[in-house]
Amino acid sequence: MKFLDEAKIFLKSGDGGNGCVAFRREKFIEFGGPSGGDGGRGGDVWVEAVDGLNTLIDYRYQQHFKADRGHHGMGSDRFGAAGADAVLRVPVGTQVLDEDKETVLTDLTEVGQRVLLLKGGDGGFGNAHFKTSTNRAPRRFDPGWPGGERWVWLRLKLIADAGLVGLPNAGKSTFLAATSAAKPKIADYPFTTLHPNLGVVRTDDHEFVLADIPGLIEGAHEGAGLGDRFLGHVERCGVLLHLVDGTSEDVAEAYRVVRGELEAYGGGLAGKPEIVGLNKIDALDDETVAERRKALAKAAGRGAVVVTLSGATGGGVHAVLRLLWTRIVESRPAPAPEESTPQDINPWAPPESD
């Protein structure tokens, strides 16, 4: 299945059905009167977050979605049926934006969340609606009201507990494959990862979701490399794991490049809790590891957490996962205190004696 995290689609709600002009004509009934029914209401357009989807690929091959029109009214006081709704089923984490691609109309973050995007048009009145004591045979009817229409953007931001960032070939996909059942593409050339990957990581008795996005290079916020469009997938993460290739000549510069892109992107990424990992230590001797870890800690600044690991051999991986879980728990909002239910008070009860 191909990955698609952005799509532009056209929406149209159903028009209302027309009212009807009809008169009751039966044998031996002298004054039948008007019997034209009202038109049915047009269908609405809804968007719903469902489980089991992680891409917007369905909206690449179909871009127009229209709800059904309401049925017209008929004689014998028969009202038209309402038109069927159009329901867009999208992955959890999908945002619906206006055509300007800036105004967020809704953000679907929970399974089953359902939002009305366009309301269908009302049906028109038939001539039976206009019958009065002075107008016993009206020939007036109303056409159905038109439905609404608009272009919108669907943008998917994957929901994960932790996110992996770093330069290309920093070992992010290897780390994800070593810690979860995900099977991302791994190769010895840059930009192996072309779309985000998700994996469920298990450590001790806990589970959390880890997101791996394509690597960043200097100038990504200006469109260099694959750009920074995939950074939106780590906006919802509680903590970032910044992997740095330990075999690179200047690990401090590699760290600064990615941090600069995070700050240029915005979205609160630069302020998220971060764990810095010096990766691929299996290819280095102990002296080099200590030297480059010191340089990386200096570049990360005071208070930064710098760990060493090897995604290929698994060295230090379990300790990193435990640290990630600790930071994830700290980043989650505290549960709201339960409101105490007031006890029932009987106003007729006698007062308690001291």
Q: What is the CATH number of the domain that holds 135?
A: 2.70.210.12
Tally of domains within the chain:
2
With contact defined as beta carbons under 8 Å apart, do 194 and 186 qualify?
no
pLDDT at 225: 59
**What pLDDT was estimated at residue 200?**
86
- Please check whether residue 346 lies inside any domain of the structure: no
For residue 310, being part of any structural domain is answered with: yes
Residues of each annotated binding site for GTP: 166-173, 191-195, 212-215, 279-282, 310-312
Q: Is residue 340 part of a domain?
A: no
Same domain flag for 173 and 99: no
pLDDT tens series, the chain, 354 aa: 467 888 999 999 999 999 999 998 888 877 788 999 999 999 999 999 998 888 898 898 899 999 999 999 999 999 999 999 999 999 998 999 999 988 999 999 999 999 999 999 999 999 999 999 899 889 999 999 999 999 999 999 888 888 888 888 888 888 888 888 777 766 665 666 677 788 888 888 888 888 888 877 777 666 665 667 778 888 888 899 999 998 888 989 999 999 888 888 887 888 888 999 999 999 889 999 999 999 999 998 877 888 999 988 888 999 999 999 998 888 877 665 655 445 555 554 555 554
Annotated binding site: 166-173, 191-195, 212-215, 279-282, 310-312
Q: Is residue 336 part of a domain?
A: no
Domain boundary among 156, 174, 198: 156
In this structure, is residue 185 part of a structural domain? yes
Residue 354: per-residue pLDDT: 46
- Same domain membership, residue 198 and residue 300: yes
Q: Are 178 and 314 in a shared domain?
A: yes
Domain boundary pick from 141, 156, 171: 156
CATH number where 183 lies: 3.40.50.300
Residues at the annotated binding site for Mg(2+)? 173, 193
CA distances 50 to 13, 88, 90, 94, 248, Å, are 21, 10, 6, 10, 43
48 and 94 inside one domain: yes
Within this chain, do residues 51 and 143 fall inside the same structural domain, yes or no?
yes
User: Are residues 132 and 179 part of one domain?
Assistant: no
145 and 167 both lie in a single domain: no
pTM of the entire predicted model: 0.75
Q: Are residues 126 and 218 in the same domain?
A: no
- Final residue of a domain: which of 127, 156, 185? 156
Q: Which residues contact 135 (CB under 8 A, 6 or more apart)?
A: none
What domain range includes position 11?
1-156
